[in-house]
Structure 1
Amino acid sequence: MMSRLATLGRINIPDVIFYPSAAALAALLIAFALMMQPRNASAVVTERELVFQGAALADLVNGPGTNVRFDPGHSDGPVARASSAASFEMAGNMSAGVAAFVPDEFETRISGRRIRVEFEVRTAGSSGPDTVRIGYFTTGYGDSGWRELPVSPRYSTISFEWDAPVHQGEEFNEAIGIWPDPQGENREILIRRIRVFILPDNS
């Protein structure tokens, strides 16, 4: 007699049902992860800039598939140590990775503006990942998408520019995310600084 597991393996879900359902589930998981946020009081917020550095890195949170811990006594200065136990291909569409939540007052300022998202990072050792992925998440009205960028054992600032969508009365619930190890092999990276900068209108 065919086992139940074997029977389950023969079930075929039509693409027109499967793909929209998978996309909806991924959106719900990301939204849920972003709602479980602390209200960050340590980030530096100015008219054009948002910076997470020093003690503010303690407020980073990990989404599904990733891990993060604050290391205030590191020889490089305070850092966040981040890794991933799941590959980006497996979990990257259902998670915001390791996330820094954006204070409400800064979210309103980037509406309709071009911004630059920056991470100052390095691998924790010579056998670390070659790349990480970074992105800006709005949970509902237009994310930046993940951008894959190189990292090395020396600190470098990786970044991308993006035109933030215009807010139209949505609830603000935004985050800056990083996927530490796209292969999901628990290789650590060190995050020393996260910055979002609003570019001049004529840039």
Structure 2
Amino acid sequence: MADLSRRLAAEALGTAMLVATVVGSGIMADRLSDDVAVSLLGNTIPTGAILFVLITILGPISGAHFNPVVTMVFALRKELERLAVLPYMLVQIFGGIAGTLVAHAMFDLPVFQVAETVRSGASQWTAEMVATFGLLLTILGGLRFRTEAIPMLVGLYITAAYWFTASTSFANPAVAIARSLTDTFAGIRPIDLTGFILAQIAGALVAAAAAGWLFAENRNEIPPIVPEGTERP
């Protein structure tokens, strides 16, 4: 495990690159097409792809959380030391904000913006709870059964969740905060953040509880009955 400073740098850099991809690809897609479905597809594919890359290259350093609710769940599972929890969350938030500002600069937009896109209501909150539940279940299931496949699993899950959730699957408080500072295709009004973040926390906690039961090792298996006279292998 890398020292804390390198881990925090990885979390900040990873979250910044993730958000820059989400916001930047949203701007590019919106400029290239007037069709909202095509723009969403142009936003979806880069996001899934960058997650695969970032988790692959930064996961060995920090665990590649890039998401405060992922950090929260790992802390609850005692898989992250308590002193690292708040620093992880803070660098994720500030890294995400930096990613938004960089995306604006790349596309020659005003660097500082406030989103006006309305994302509120029970359907949006339900979608965020479902999206975050699925993300955490994917991560925890991957850790239990196929650790080496986690980059692909997370990238594919988010690619799918962009399309099957009404909210387009933010599933990440740091990303939601960062996206409240862009008045572009990817934006969300700051006033709508509370509902999204509460739904994300709820989804993550439910996923942690479900995974704790569903993916538990069966330590009390009844040994198989061996016919008399047959040797055990």
Considering only CA atoms, is the larger Rg found in Structure 1 or Structure 2? 2
Is the helix fraction higher in 1 or 2?
2
Is the strand fraction higher in 1 or 2?
1
TM-score by length of 1: 0.29
